[in-house]
Structure 1
């Protein structure tokens, strides 16, 4: 069965705790009906925290209570066993009525009355329920075809049809969420649209749907909900997204400038001993700039060939300038430098020009050179002008034999 998930926007930020410290002293009332006779937790959701604020005890399929409001305007979920949840919005003084809860469905089904945001949350929830039900039915049909032992000429066309149905269902879900957001980009409840996943796939992926993230961020930011903890959480992630998108733009722009005939950007960094080294100091030599990381297998294999090239052409004014891209993300710089030195020795990188600022992919050098993937090499002439890009193996050997 397909997994349809309503997850936190930033993986790893969702915490569960019992904490009533946020309560305002004011309440809202909730009534729930379900074929269920046990307890369920009422949890307050802010994006980076999920706190139990009360417990509902079901008797005869009904439960009700006055719930202490965590905020004057907040988002909550009722958690049943088996990770079954339903979400609603409640403000101080609200009367929330949740009925026809069907715990046998996955995700569960329900009705809600009380306010428009709770109804919109239910709309998102039921959209997911319909999507999963449809995808599951397609999966069953697909499995029947796959299990057929007889040769049937229609088999491939049917499987292709089911694959196209999967895509159509996903796109319909995606378009529905977009329509909900576009209807009013000032509604805080729309943040939940970005929490929809089908299996491992985010329904509104950042790279393709970035304008929707920005529209909602700008819209809510212009309202009185700009100080709400849910928006604060969402906004922080959008700020990071803006930085990521801008960085990608700069990298793409720089990569387009990395063409033969262009002057290679300057590089100033430090070697394993902490001493400053510059690319400019190698003027007068043909230089191969190579970008690599410790965990890049193809990079490490390429070092074997670079060692041969350095031995073959090193006495003809040929140099290798290796830029290591390890680091960043809170990694231990001391441990990385130790591993870096060991790799230089293990890979036979006998040339003396090794640098790293230990900032990983956040390095300014990455931006300057538009490095999108590794291994990456740039060959420059004695003036610092680019001769070739991504030359490896025999191609590099031929180029060096021509110019040296």
Structure 2
């Protein structure tokens, strides 16, 4: 899926690169000083968008005062990562929009492989990226605090109004974050910064704890297409669009508007359960597995939706791609999935995989009482919104 492709690019946010005419430089020298670190070496990485494998292009031994100079010969605008010693993750990233960049890095006393703060001079795009990260982090911290407040309040009787305030504030913060992220994507004058801002938001939205508004495939398509139009000579951005177009071409046709393919699978007691037996109700067919981390993180949202709408002619059918009954049953209990569950315990060889064109989980389809698919791939807040729309 296109979104999964870009989210994959943003899992480690700093591992991105892209290029465009007049937005990069043929040579960039990074001068810096790192304090509070016992590291001996510093490495400069470029990360080709096509391979997504960071390539070390220069290294230097840190002087006694932590100073260093590194050089990049990247021909297009790209992100340059600074990494210390054997640490897996970069301590920061820069954009090569100028020939000389100066950074001052202060490492975290408690976590010596992370920077607590840094200053950058000489690179407007790098400074803009830092400002973006700081502001988005602030929004996410506000959302987290309101989530903690809500969880605390709901354990106390007579706090419904206060719970509503915390929930409303959290939602508004999420809206502001999304608007800020896409404004940065559109207003940035460097393609590397635009793609960075986009993938940063996609990664945050992929964390269900924040309940951020997801980005639809259509919106993602348009955003990348607009960037390609703005930077027609941007080779890496063009390659990214081609990868997305190729993924889109291979994606199965949407099931929306069509009758859901019929199947019958055994439940936890071995009793056959058919999809048709749920006719007359709105039904969410939820494909998941105990071994699927994203599925397990999404399950609280599904549980919340079930509790909210189960008395409105709505139910859920869980379809697991597990291999062992023990793991399947344990996950059902742990995640409190109190609706019908079925599985043939055949993992990706399950008959439903080809039947529904499943390329990844979690995945779901929402059926109307006649068994027709009216929505698919509903996660997080989008699931609650769609159910609120159809179950008035």
TM-score, normalising length from structure 1? Answer: 0.50
Q: Deviations over 1:198-251 (max 9, x none)?
A: 3624957332x73354133243255344312x551354125535775x933xx4
Alignment partner of 1:11: what SS? helix
Residues 31 and 62, structure 1, Cα contact 8 Å, conserved in 2: no
Cα distance change, pair 233–137 in 1 and its aligned pair in 2 (3 A): same
Please tell me the root mean square deviation across aligned C-alpha atoms, in Å. Answer: 4.8
Residues 44 and 52, structure 1, Cα contact 8 Å, conserved in 2: yes
Q: Which residue of 1 aligns with 2:272?
A: 301
Q: Which residue of 1 aligns with 2:207?
A: 200
Structure 1 position 88, deviation (Å): 1.1
2:54 is the alignment partner of 1:31: no
Distance in 2 between residues matched to 1:141 and 1:126, nearest whole Å: 23
Q: Which residue of 1 aligns with 2:121?
A: 113
Cα distance change, pair 175–97 in 1 and its aligned pair in 2 (3 A): same
Structure 1 unaligned blocks of 5 or more = 1-6, 16-25, 259-288, 307-355, 364-371, 378-387, 391-404
Q: Which residue of 2 aligns with 1:88?
A: 94
Distance in 1 between residues matched to 2:175 and 2:195, nearest whole Å: 19
Q: Which residue of 1 aligns with 2:168?
A: 164
Q: Which residue of 2 aligns with 1:216?
A: 224
Residues 32 and 64, structure 1, Cα contact 8 Å, conserved in 2: yes
Alignment partner of 2:137: what SS? helix
Structure 2 unaligned blocks of 5 or more = 13-25, 278-350, 359-363, 373-392
Q: Which residue of 1 aligns with 2:142?
A: 134
Distance in 1 between residues matched to 2:187 and 2:72, nearest whole Å: 31
Residues 43 and 52, structure 1, Cα contact 8 Å, conserved in 2: yes
Q: Find the partner of 1:42 among 41, 44, 56.
A: 44
Q: Which residue of 2 aligns with 1:232?
A: 239
Structure 1 position 176, deviation (Å): 0.5
Residues 265 and 272, structure 2, Cα contact 8 Å, conserved in 1: no
Q: Find the partner of 2:131 among 123, 132, 145.
A: 123
Question: Which structure's relative contact order is higher, taking Cα pairs within 8 Å and 6+ residues apart?
Answer: 2
Q: Find the partner of 2:184 among 170, 180, 185.
A: 180
Q: Deviations over 1:142-173 (max 9, x none)?
A: 576578xxx6644x433333333322222221
Greater shift, 136-145 or 63-72, is seen at: 136-145
Q: Which residue of 2 aligns with 1:393?
A: none
Distance in 1 between residues matched to 2:121 and 2:188, nearest whole Å: 20
Residues 185 and 220, structure 1, Cα contact 8 Å, conserved in 2: no
Distance in 2 between residues matched to 1:144 and 1:107, nearest whole Å: 32
Residues 43 and 78, structure 1, Cα contact 8 Å, conserved in 2: yes
Distance in 2 between residues matched to 1:193 and 1:212, nearest whole Å: 13
Distance in 2 between residues matched to 1:300 and 1:11, nearest whole Å: 39
Structure 1 position 304, deviation (Å): 11
Structure 1 position 183, deviation (Å): 2.0
2:58 is the alignment partner of 1:54: yes
Cα distance change, pair 305–168 in 1 and its aligned pair in 2 (3 A): closer
Structure 1 position 77, deviation (Å): 1.7
Q: Which residue of 1 aligns with 2:102?
A: 97
TM-score, normalising length from structure 2? Answer: 0.52
Cα distance change, pair 290–183 in 1 and its aligned pair in 2 (3 A): closer
Q: Deviations over 1:323-349 (max 9, x none)?
A: xxxxxxxxxxxxxxxxxxxxxxxxxxx
Alignment partner of 2:37: what SS? coil
Residues 145 and 159, structure 1, Cα contact 8 Å, conserved in 2: yes
Cα distance change, pair 102–358 in 1 and its aligned pair in 2 (3 A): closer
Distance in 2 between residues matched to 1:125 and 1:296, nearest whole Å: 46
